[in-house]
Structures are given as C-alpha cells and as structure tokens.
C-alpha cells in the first residue's frame, strides 16, 4: 500500500471515528420527519390526540371516542398544528357537536403533552400559536379554550381508563360519587370548579365582541316578538367580561319565556352539548 492510500485510509477512519463519537454524545442525530415530539389532546367532544413532529406538523390524529371517528381527518396530515386544531373545531361545529351562534358557553379543552422534557418549549408554544390564529378565526373567537399541561404518564393513565386525557385531568379535580366522568361543559359551568381549574391552568375566554354580537342578535329577535329590550341594551353597552355571562343568561331566559330559543339551545342549557359528551366509548 503506497503512502497516498495509507494517508487516505487514515483520514477516512479518523472521520468515521469523529462522526460516531459525535452521535454517541448527542451532537449529531439523524432526524426522522415523522418522529413524534409532542401530543396535543383536543376535547370538544369529539376528542382527538394529535401527534406532531419537531416542526409542529401533524403526523398522526387518533380519535379517542366514537364521535371523533365520524370526523374526516386524513387530509389534515402534514399540516401545522394550529391549523389542524382550528379545522377540527370547524368540522365539529359543522357536524353539530358545538353551536357558536347560540347563547350557551362552549368549552374546548386542549392538553399539551411533550414527549420529553426537551420538547416542553414546543408544546408551550401552541397556546401562542392559537392566540395568533384567533385574530382571524371566527370559531376560535367564539369558544372558551381551556389549556392543560400534562405529561406522558398522565396520558398513559387516561388511555388505560379509555378516557380522553383532558376529561381525565379535569375529573381528577372533582370526584363523582358514582365514578362517572362529567363533561367539560358541565365542569366549566360550575363557578367553583372553574376557579379551581384556574389555580393551575389557563382559560382563554370567548372574545367579548363576539358574545355581545350574539346577544344583540337575540335582542333583535325579542324586539320582533314585542318585548321591550331597552334596559338590556343599556346593560349591553357597558357590560364587562366579568358580567357578560350573567347578561347572556338573562337574555337566554327571556328568549325561553317567549319561546324563541331553539330546542338544541334548551337541551344544551339543561344537559350540556352534546347529550353525553363525557362518554369516552
């Protein structure tokens, strides 16, 4: 073997040694575009687990209850997570699981679960991305979005009980005597439960302007029925975010008194939307 070949072989072997060393110490890792780095659980009802890669692109959507199986999701693979969540909300509304035009508060639970501690910053960024999307999204503006931070252990426990992880977490805050799971709507309609939740997690409330517009539309219907709404309109002009729910309930009750609320709205008030959204099966 001549000196030139020997030198080339030594350089090649040295390079290979350096590459293996860098990989061993984590300085260089081959990337897999489909490697899952975080899971975002979306509980509307329906409920989904949305798995994303390092670029926050969706690589897998798993329905976690029967209602979710009725929603088409295959065309959403490869799309950005915030877009996919907004689109799933739209599809759930089109399927009748939520109604953003009535005077009933709808709550959506989004649980972010990083695959590892190193992936936590990516999971944390989802809330900011959805805040940005809400600037141009009617459906996001119309909903109350509750954010939960969880881990893989909690996810596995929820999966073991065959319960969507968001419902698993909120039901861990309240114990039902019969062991059943209450819906997100029933949970958040209780002021005490809602306050308990907010000591640990965040709620992005539906935009005030959107709710005021819904109330205004209802007042217009009451006017047509011959109801004097002048006092309610005065309240609406100065209502704050803290008082908007009370005003909404007042208008809703008046609509029901004059038989102007639809059956779906009445059912939602009494039982939550849909009829049994806490059922994981």
- pLDDT tens-digit map of 17-34: 554 554 444 444 445 778
What's the pLDDT band for 2 if we cut at 50, 70, 90? low
Higher per-residue confidence, 8 vs 33: 33
What is the β-pairing status of strands 144-149 and 107-114? parallel
What's the pLDDT band for 273 if we cut at 50, 70, 90? very low
Q: What predicted TM-score, i.e. pTM, was given to this entire model?
A: 0.78
List the Cα angle 109/114/115 in 5-degree steps: 135
Higher per-residue confidence, 48 vs 261: 48
Instruction: Specify whether the CB–CB gap between 275 and 267 falls below 8 A.
Output: yes
pLDDT value, residue 149: 96
**Distance between CA atoms of residues 122 and 152, nearest Å:** 15
What's the pLDDT band for 281 if we cut at 50, 70, 90? very low
Q: Is the pLDDT of residue 272 over 80?
A: no
Q: Determine whether 59 is exposed, middle or buried from the number of CB atoms within 10 Å of its CB (0-12, 13-18, 19+).
A: middle
**Distance between CA atoms of residues 18 and 46, nearest Å:** 50
Considering just the CA atoms, what is the radius of gyration of the chain in Å?
A: 25
- pLDDT tens-digit map of 50-71: 999 999 999 999 999 999 999 9
**Distance between CA atoms of residues 78 and 92, nearest Å:** 20
**Distance between CA atoms of residues 101 and 70, nearest Å:** 22
Higher per-residue confidence, 226 vs 275: 226
Q: Is the pLDDT of residue 124 over 70?
A: yes
The residue whose two tokens read 């975010």 is 241
Cα dist. 175→113, 157, 166, 188 in Å?
Answer: 24, 17, 15, 15
Return mean pLDDT, the chain: 85
Q: How far is CA 207 from the centre of its chain?
A: 16
The residue whose two tokens read 């965040």 is 202
Reading the block at residue 253, the tokens are: 């009750």
**Distance between CA atoms of residues 43 and 278, nearest Å:** 10
* Domain edges within the chain: 38-204, 208-271
């Amino acid at each position: 073997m001549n000196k030139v070949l020997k030198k080339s072989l030594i350089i090649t072997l040295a390079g290979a040694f350096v590459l293996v060393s860098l990989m061993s110490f984590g300085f260089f890792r081959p990337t897999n575009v489909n490697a899952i780095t975080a899971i975002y659980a979306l509980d509307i009802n329906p409920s989904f687990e949305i798995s994303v890669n390092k670029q926050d692109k969706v690589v897998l959507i798993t329905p976690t209850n029967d209602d979710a199986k009725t929603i088409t999701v295959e065309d959403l693979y490869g799309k950005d997570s915030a877009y996919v969540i907004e689109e799933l909300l739209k599809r759930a509304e089109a399927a009748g699981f939520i109604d953003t035009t009535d005077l009933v508060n709808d709550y959506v639970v989004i649980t972010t679960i990083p695959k590892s501690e190193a992936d936590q910053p990516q999971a944390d960024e989802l809330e900011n991305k959805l805040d940005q999307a809400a600037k141009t999204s009617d459906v996001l503006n119309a909903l109350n979005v509750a954010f939960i931070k969880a881990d893989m252990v909690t996810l596995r426990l929820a999966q073991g009980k065959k319960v969507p992880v968001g419902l698993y977490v909120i039901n861990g805050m309240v114990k039902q005597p019969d062991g059943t799971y209450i819906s997100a709507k029933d949970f958040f309609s209780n002021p005490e439960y809602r306050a308990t939740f907010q000591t640990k997690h965040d709620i992005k409330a539906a935009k005030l302007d959107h709710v005021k517009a819904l109330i205004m539309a209802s007042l217009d219907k009451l006017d047509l029925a011959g109801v004097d709404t002048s006092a309610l309109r005065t309240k609406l002009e100065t209502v704050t975010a803290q008082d908007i729910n009370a005003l909404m309930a007042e208008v809703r009750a008046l609509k029901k008194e004059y038989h102007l609320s639809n059956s779906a709205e009445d059912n939602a008030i009494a039982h939550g939307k849909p009829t049994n959204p806490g059922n994981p099966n």
